[in-house]
């Protein structure tokens, strides 16, 4: 029997668990060209969908890592994450992931995980809307279970202050700098009235004319207009740019948690930098997305490759 030094054995074991940018080079060489047209078509049909798909990846990674657990439907004897508070009536784009899975299964059946599809689709969404590209690391496998409590507890809430936000990101191995960078995803997309009602009626660190105009579509009374939408970026909600940070400086952050990033605190200077330096923001965002995609992946013999992203095999 061949003898391997312990250090080499540990290195081999560790290396086997790493994600890689060329993971599917031989097993599914057309993976990227298979996914992108489906994402493009979905965004063409509804521009908001790019932000929705990107958000799915965030909400998946923050619960037990980037493992596709968010995609699992509830059944009679299984409770998934879709009805957790941060996701209920809010997480969307699952049908786009289904469409991508169908296309990918035709191209290379049984090879590509739903978790990896989500990672690729998130990057495509950003690029299509004018944001940076990055080398997506792949090799994740799909979770056999999900965590409702994890979704309720781990995903940052729009009502959180800077300390709470920092601790939620820190729990995932992400720094305060990563948090400010990744929050820039709010340069695209919309939020529901329930997420920003308290900020536009109760907070003082908000531009009064912005608050007033936003109130017209979000009544004070809870239960009234809860699902009405407002853009997270006032100017260019379908373009991935740095206007989100400019809005924060002008006290026009839609969510309480957004404005917390620029509120006489430790993150003000980073917001100022990004507001005038879109090149640095986009470069940092790409790096932070790679880092987020590395959160606790299932690899090797862990999990499975789901045939249908909504159910375990």
pLDDT per position as a tens digit, 250-291: 999 999 999 999 999 999 999 999 999 999 999 999 999 999
What is the pLDDT confidence band of residue 4, given thresholds at 50, 70 and 90? very low
What is the pLDDT confidence band of residue 12, given thresholds at 50, 70 and 90? very low
Q: Please, where in the chain does CATH 1.10.420.10 lie?
A: 162-291
What is the pLDDT confidence band of residue 17, given thresholds at 50, 70 and 90? low
Per-residue pLDDT at 120: 98
Give the annotated binding-site residues for Ca(2+). 60, 63, 65, 67, 69, 81, 187, 233, 236, 241
What is the pLDDT confidence band of residue 233, given thresholds at 50, 70 and 90? very high
Give the annotated binding-site residues for heme b. 186
What is the pLDDT confidence band of residue 18, given thresholds at 50, 70 and 90? confident
* Catalytic residue IDs: 59
pTM more than 0.95: no
Q: Report the topology of domain 30-155.
A: Peroxidase; domain 1 (1.10.520)
Positive or negative, the CA dihedral 110, 116, 120, 122 is positive
What is the pLDDT confidence band of residue 27, given thresholds at 50, 70 and 90? very high
Per-residue pLDDT tens digits for 70-92: 999 999 999 999 999 999 999 99
Q: Please, where in the chain does CATH 1.10.520.10 lie?
A: 30-155
Q: Which residue has the higher pLDDT, 223 or 4?
A: 223
* Token pair for 142: 């799909």
Burial class (CB in 10 A: 0-12, 13-18, 19+), 90: middle
Instruction: Find the mean pLDDT for residues 94-109.
Output: 98
Instruction: Find the mean pLDDT for residues 152-165.
Output: 98
CATH number at 162-291: 1.10.420.10
Per-residue pLDDT at 187: 98
Per-residue pLDDT at 222: 93
Per-residue pLDDT at 10: 40
Instruction: Find the mean pLDDT for residues 169-179.
Output: 98
Please say if the pLDDT value at position 1 is more than 80: no
Please say if the pLDDT value at position 119 is more than 80: yes
What is the pLDDT confidence band of residue 8, given thresholds at 50, 70 and 90? very low
């Amino acid at each position: 029997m061949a003898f391997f030094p312990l250090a080499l054995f540990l290195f081999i074991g560790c290396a086997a668990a790493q994600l890689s940018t060329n993971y599917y080079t031989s097993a599914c060489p057309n993976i990227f060209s298979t996914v992108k047209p489906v994402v493009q078509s979905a965004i063409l049909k509804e521009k908001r969908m790019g932000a929705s798909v990107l958000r799915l990846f965030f909400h998946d990674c923050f619960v037990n890592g980037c493992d596709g657990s968010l995609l699992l439907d509830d059944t009679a004897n299984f409770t998934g994450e879709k009805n957790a508070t941060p996701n209920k009536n809010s997480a969307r784009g699952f049908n786009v992931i289904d469409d991508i899975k169908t296309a990918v299964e035709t191209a290379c059946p049984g090879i590509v995980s739903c978790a990896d599809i989500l990672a690729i689709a998130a990057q495509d969404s950003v690029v299509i809307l004018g944001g940076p590209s990055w080398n997506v690391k792949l090799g994740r496998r799909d979770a056999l279970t999900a965590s409702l409590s994890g979704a309720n507890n781990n995903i940052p809430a729009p009502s959180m202050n800077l300390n709470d936000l920092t601790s939620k990101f820190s729990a995932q191995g992400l720094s305060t700098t990563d948090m400010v960078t990744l929050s820039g995803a709010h340069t695209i997309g919309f939020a529901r009235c329930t997420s920003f009602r308290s900020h536009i009626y109760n907070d003082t660190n908000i531009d009064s004319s912005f608050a007033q105009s936003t109130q017209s579509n979000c009544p004070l009374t809870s239960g009234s207009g809860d699902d009405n939408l407002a853009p997270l970026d006032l100017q260019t909600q379908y373009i991935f740019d740095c206007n989100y940070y400019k809005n924060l400086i002008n006290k026009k952050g839609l969510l309480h948690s957004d404005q917390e990033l620029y509120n006489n605190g430790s993150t003000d200077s980073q917001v100022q930098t990004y507001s005038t330096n879109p090149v640095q923001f986009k470069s940092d965002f790409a790096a932070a997305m790679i880092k987020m995609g590395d959160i606790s992946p299932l690899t090797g013999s862990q999990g499975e490759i789901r045939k249908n992203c909504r159910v375990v095999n």
